[in-house]
């Protein structure tokens, strides 16, 4: 059964799915156990009170409504003042107007973890807000002819209502929206703080410009065909004056502190690798290649950065970026070159096209050494190539086809018939034929094409070559980074206005603090007329102002900030959301930062996290963060732990004849196990794909919740896959979770009825008292003790495994499976005493509460009438902990595998052996085996030459 499945664990023997009692319980038919009366399952119940498990109707949607109403009217739980704080945060959503299953998954995970820590008595912070600025809202406003603020506000209301349906425990008193002036006032303050330190500056830059949306795009927003990610227009390259944040000042800290985040797997290794690659630190040298320009006025040398000086002997060409100064100069007098440059924006970044500069040749600096091989002394062709990036290194690369994949592909495109020079090999004796199909990209040993350096290792050769060239003024050791300063200017309306005033006399002047926020002006006519472009530029009353320094005429900056600026610090505003004077107070920062657990998708692994780390490091070293202007040792990273959840894929139906995705009305699902194409009656192909409108596999989570209830939906979502894995959404399987919850609810009702009027003690005290009477117990009392110990032993084991899974997060699916197994254990050990049954069920409800909060509240109220909410413990900590009773409840019996000549013949259950060894233990084990039916039949007449007892009687081998 789906609810009995355990990920990576096996069911207890007596509760296995093959046992008759298990099958009876899961099917709802007690008649499956001949002679077993319903009363025998739950002593003390009359026949009239018994109902089959499957017949119990648990209305989970009704419980959602009931408990959400009670939660809304209740006072928030007050944790003890000395309680540990726990800041749990899911990445906040963009208010598109609807939640999808990906939202439901990440917010379920966050709420479950938050509730778990709250039940442990911690002061939990679980806020929610809205990443409300951005181009999508602006485009929607143009499309609909409405103000983006109105559209965004409406969407926030819709999504907030949807979020409330999932039984979350959000602290709405901390709610924020980045488009609210009370928020972006502080975004502007942070910008000005950066500006004051020289970390925000303006500079001319070549940018990607979308001519349709009329805005600058980041490189990541341009697809491989050179088109805008949103409008689809061909992106243009333009030189514009832009605002940058000097993130490069923090690059060493951003790289080094990744080692801190790697400890104890606090961040996924995949994310750390992506961050390292984006920062892209490399050490090497800049090398000067002298140029022969044939009277074209080009500089005497082209500088190239390389991290592989050991490949210098293998350089066969030089390639320049389209923005290289040499190219710009030559294009002025070369119309063919200019025409080539004009085609580049439409080419993919990995294009192998190139333009051979006709009047330019380069010389390898090693050519001046007499011992250099003749091939290396030959002059080099110089190309303009789109694969060379203008903002990395020097905008020039030395082409080494024998030892670089991109260089190899480029050379083969333009010099297919010419040999590739191989100057490195894996070992000295390896063949170095010139006919090379793939480049050798590893470090190795210098070959005969390296002249005097033959036989040297890559490291030795690199150091010697750079030292030699450095002495000749042809090279210099340097360190390079892939990371570039963060371009934050956006030529659009719906974003945080940049708080700078431009004065002809004073230059760029910060807006005074008392004039913040610089609010966006109303431009309703612009939206009503559905105009594209940035309306701020035409708002004369808003743009024209006076200079804060000289009071002369000046103009406001009409750019707004990249929305990544908002999301780079929003988690810090949550800790002090109503502070009017500052983004947050140093006291609150010390109390709640950094975020303990941050949860979100892998798609944000680079930019959002990198920018957040940068802004956090800046603010924590400013008076805002510590009040001391220096970095606090424990606050150098914003997120202690990062959890990345997998995507949710939806079920798709495909017509096998043409591969077309089928619409819902094109699929016959009368037999859900055998879907057919309506048009042909042929079986449809079923697969799970990323949810999208084009694949007709989207699922509205509110519809699922309305049908099955939020708690069943939450439990199903967690149970179906580990947190980090892709979740293939199959709504049909929720029925398994629903059956389990119905069975558990009925167990709670029967346990509460059974316990009416009884006196209780703690299980630990009960077992301690019983152990003192063990020797005087009758067989019936011992059987009762066995039943009680079996249940409580499983409870203690489950507390350990479930607590570990809640803390580990990625294995939340096993929490559900463990609790399903414990439910079966309690039901099947029906002879357990009331005190054990009640405490076992109580522990089970408290362990399931983070996942199914409304259901747990209902069960808690049934089990403990008159008590407050399970989530209103006031800091005492209701989540169960192991009580130390393990030594008192060790099993009295154990399984003994019996072998004859090394082959297992049967397994018998016998008492645990006394403290004896050797022949005495052997004789005792044999005697106990002969007391069993199988032992008598298979061992009674056996004449053994030798009997070997292994593992204290858990294995016995009879040698005959």
Instruction: Measure the CA–CA gap between 905 and 899, rounded to whole angstroms.
Output: 6
Q: How far is CA 711 from CA 102, 163, 169, 868, 885, in A?
A: 17, 13, 13, 20, 32
The DSSP annotation for 186-218 comes to HHHHHHHHHHHTT-EEEEEEEEEEETTTTEEE-
For helices 834-848 and 763-772, give the axis angle rounded to 10 degrees.
Answer: 150
Q: For residue 341, give the 3-state DSSP assignment.
A: helix
Whole-Å CA distances, 87 to 194, 499, 589, 790: 27, 31, 12, 38
pLDDT of residue 296: 61
With tokens 């439910």, the residue in question is 823
Q: Is the sign of the CA dihedral 846, 852, 854, 859 positive or negative? A: negative
List of the chain residues with pLDDT < 50? 1-56, 432-435, 633
Contact 243, 499 (CB under 8 A): no
Residue 107: strand pairing partners: none
Cα–Cα–Cα angle for 13, 16, 21, rounded to 5 degrees: 110
The pLDDT value given to residue 167: 96
Give dist(CA 612, CA 607) in Å, integer.
Answer: 8
Mean pLDDT of the chain: 87
For residue 926, the number of C-alpha atoms closer than 13 Å in the C-beta half-sphere is 18
Angle at 345 between CA 340 and CA 351, to 5 degrees: 75
Long-range contacts for 212-218 (Cβ within 8 Å, ≥24 apart)? 212/532, 213/135, 213/139, 213/492, 213/532, 214/491, 214/492, 214/532, 214/533, 214/534, 215/135, 215/490, 215/491, 215/492, 215/534, 216/240, 216/242, 216/487, 216/489, 216/490, 216/491, 218/487, 218/562, 218/607
This prediction's pTM = 0.83
Q: Phi first, then psi: what are they for 43, rounded to 5°?
A: -55, 145
Asked if residue 178 lies in contact with residue 563, where contact means CB atoms within 8 angstroms, the answer is yes
> Residue 77: phi, psi to the nearest 5?
-65, 135
- What element of type H or E holds 509? strand 507-510
Of 840, 798, 828, nearest in space to 815 by CA:
798
Three-state secondary structure call for residue 554: strand
Segment holding 465, helix H or strand E: helix 458-471
Q: Which residues contact 417 (CB under 8 A, 6 or more apart)?
A: none
Report d(CA 900, CA 884) in Å as an integer: 40
Backbone angles phi, psi at 729, to 5 degrees: -75, 120
> How many CB atoms neighbour CB 574 within 10 A?
24
Q: How many CB atoms lie within 10 A of CB 703?
A: 10
Q: Are 723 and 809 in contact (CB under 8 A)?
A: yes
Q: How far is CA 699 from CA 169, 666, 704, 725, 728, in A?
A: 23, 17, 8, 19, 12
Bridge partners, residue 306, by sequence = 285
The Cα angle at residue 102 between residues 100 and 107, in degrees rounded to 5: 100
In this predicted structure, what is the pLDDT of residue 345? 74
| pLDDT of 349 | 67
Q: Please report how the helices 701-708 and 101-119 are oriented relative to each other, as an axis angle in degrees rounded to 10.
A: 60
Q: How far apart, in whole angstroms, are the C-alpha atoms of residue 902 and residue 889?
A: 33
Residue written as tokens 């679980």?
A: 126
- Classified as helix, coil or strand, 128 is strand
Burial of 817 (0-12, 13-18, 19+ CB in 10 A): buried
Alpha helices in 698-778 (DSSP H): 701-708, 710-719, 734-754, 763-772
Identify the pLDDT of residue 816: 97
Q: Is the peptide bond before 594 cis (omega within 30 degrees of 0)?
A: yes
Torsion-angle region of 704 (φ positive above 0: left; ψ -120 to 50: alpha; else: beta): alpha
Residues with Cβ within 8 Å of residue 343, at least 6 apart in sequence: none
Length of the chain: 960
Q: Say what angle helices 734-754 and 853-863 make with each other, to 10 degrees.
A: 20
Per-residue pLDDT, 783: 82
Q: Look at residues 398, 363, 401 and name the one whose alpha carbon lies nearest to residue 379.
A: 363
């Amino acid at each position: 059964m789906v609810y009995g499945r355990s990920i990576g664990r096996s069911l207890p023997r007596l509760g296995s799915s093959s046992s008759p009692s298990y099958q009876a319980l899961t099917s709802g038919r007690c008649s499956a156990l001949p002679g077993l009366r319903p009363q025998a399952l739950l002593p003390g119940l009359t026949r009239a009170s018994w109902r089959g498990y499957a017949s119990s109707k648990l209305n989970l949607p009704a419980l959602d409504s009931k408990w959400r109403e009670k939660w809304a009217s209740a006072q928030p739980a007050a944790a003890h003042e000395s309680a540990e704080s726990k800041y749990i945060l899911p990445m906040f959503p963009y208010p598109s107007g609807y939640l999808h299953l990906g939202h439901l998954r990440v917010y379920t995970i966050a709420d479950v973890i938050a509730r778990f820590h709250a039940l442990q008595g911690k002061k939990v912070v679980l806020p929610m807000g809205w990443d409300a600025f951005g181009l999508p809202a602006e485009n929607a406003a143009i499309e609909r002819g409405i103000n983006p603020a109105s559209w965004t506000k409406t969407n926030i209301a819709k999504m907030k209502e949807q979020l409330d349906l999932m039984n979350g425990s959000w602290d709405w008193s901390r709610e924020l929206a980045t488009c609210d002036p009370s928020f972006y006032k502080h975004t502007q303050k942070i910008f000005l703080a950066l500006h004051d330190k020289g970390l925000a500056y303006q500079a001319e830059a070549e940018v990607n410009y979308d001519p349709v949306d009329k805005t600058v795009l980041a490189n990541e927003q341009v697809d491989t065909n050179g088109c805008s990610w949103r409008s689809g227009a061909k992106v243009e390259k333009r030189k514009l004056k832009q605002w940058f944040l000097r993130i490069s000042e923090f690059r060493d800290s951003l790289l080094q502190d990744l080692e801190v985040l790697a400890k104890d797997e606090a961040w996924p290794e995949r994310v750390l690798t992506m961050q390292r690659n984006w920062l892209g630190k490399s050490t090497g040298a800049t090398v000067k290649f002298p140029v022969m320009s044939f009277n074209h006025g080009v500089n005497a040398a082209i500088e190239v950065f390389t991290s592989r000086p050991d490949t210098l002997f293998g350089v066969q060409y030089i390639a320049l970026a389209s923005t290289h100064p040499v190219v710009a100069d030559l294009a002025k007098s070369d119309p063919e070159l200019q025409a080539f440059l004009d085609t580049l924006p439409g080419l993919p970044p990995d294009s192998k096209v190139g333009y051979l500069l006709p009047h330019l040749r380069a010389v390898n600096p090693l050519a001046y050494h007499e011992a250099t091989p003749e091939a290396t002394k030959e002059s080099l062709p110089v190309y303009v190539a789109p694969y060379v990036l203008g903002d990395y290194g020097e905008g020039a690369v030395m082409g080494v086809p024998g030892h670089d994949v991109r260089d190899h592909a480029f050379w083969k495109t333009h010099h297919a018939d010419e040999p590739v020079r191989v100057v490195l090999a894996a070992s000295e004796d390896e063949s170095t034929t010139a006919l090379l199909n793939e480049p050798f990209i590893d470090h190795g040993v210098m070959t005969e094409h390296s002249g005097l350096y033959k036989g040297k290792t890559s490291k030795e050769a690199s150091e010697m070559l750079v030292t030699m060239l450095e002495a000749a003024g042809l090279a210099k050791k340097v360190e390079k980074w892939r990371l570039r300063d963060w371009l934050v200017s956006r030529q659009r309306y719906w974003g945080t206005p940049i708080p700078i005033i431009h004065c002809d006399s004073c230059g760029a002047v910060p807006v005074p603090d008392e004039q913040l926020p610089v609010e966006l002006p109303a431009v309703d006519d612009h939206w009503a007329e559905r105009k594209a472009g940035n309306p701020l530029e035409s708002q004369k009353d808003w743009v024209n102002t006076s200079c804060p320094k000289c009071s002369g005429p000046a103009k406001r900056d009409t750019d707004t900030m990249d929305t990544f600026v908002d999301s780079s610090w929003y988690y810090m505003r949550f800790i002090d959301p109503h502070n009017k004077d500052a983004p947050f107070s140093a006291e609150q920062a010390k109390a709640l930062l950094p975020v303990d657990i941050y949860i979100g998708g892998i798609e944000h692994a680079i930019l959002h996290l990198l920018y957040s780390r940068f802004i956090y490091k800046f603010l924590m070293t400013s008076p805002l963060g510590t009040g001391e202007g220096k970095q606090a040792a424990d606050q150098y990273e914003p997120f202690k732990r990062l959890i990345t959840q997998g995507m949710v894929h939806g079920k798709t139906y495909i017509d096998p004849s043409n591969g077309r995705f089928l619409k819902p009305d094109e699929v016959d699902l009368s037999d859900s196990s055998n879907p057919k194409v309506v048009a042909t009656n042929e079986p449809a192909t079923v697969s799970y794909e990323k949810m999208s409108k084009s694949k007709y596999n989207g699922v509205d989570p509110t519809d699922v919740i309305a049908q099955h209830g939020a708690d069943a939906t939450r439990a199903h979502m967690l149970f179906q896959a580990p947190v980090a894995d892709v979740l293939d959404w199959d709504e049909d399987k929720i029925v398994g979770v629903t059956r389990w919850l119905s069975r558990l609810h009925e167990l709670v009702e029967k346990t509460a009825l059974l316990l009416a009027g009884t006196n209780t003690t703690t299980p630990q005290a009960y077992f301690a008292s019983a152990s003192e009477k063990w020797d005087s117990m009758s067989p019936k009392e011992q059987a009762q003790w066995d039943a009680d110990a079996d249940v409580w032993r499983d409870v203690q084991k489950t507390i350990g495994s479930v607590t570990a899974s809640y803390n580990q997060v990625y294995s939340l699916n096993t929490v559900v499976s463990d609790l399903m197994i414990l439910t079966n254990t309690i039901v099947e050990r029906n002879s357990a005493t009331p005190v054990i049954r009640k405490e076992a069920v109580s522990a089970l409800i408290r362990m399931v509460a983070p996942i199914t909060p409304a259901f747990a509240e209902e069960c808690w109220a049934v089990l403990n009438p008159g008590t407050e909410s399970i989530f209103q413990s006031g800091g005492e900590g209701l989540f169960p902990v192991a009580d130390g009773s393990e030594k008192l409840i060790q099993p009295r019996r154990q399984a003994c595998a019996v072998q004859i000549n090394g082959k297992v013949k049967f397994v018998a259950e016998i008492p645990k052996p006394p403290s004896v060894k050797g022949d005495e233990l052997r004789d005792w084990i044999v005697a106990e085996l002969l007391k069993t039916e199988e032992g008598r039949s298979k061992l009674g007449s056996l004449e053994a030459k030798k009997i070997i007892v292994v593992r204290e009687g858990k294995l016995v081998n009879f040698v005959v």
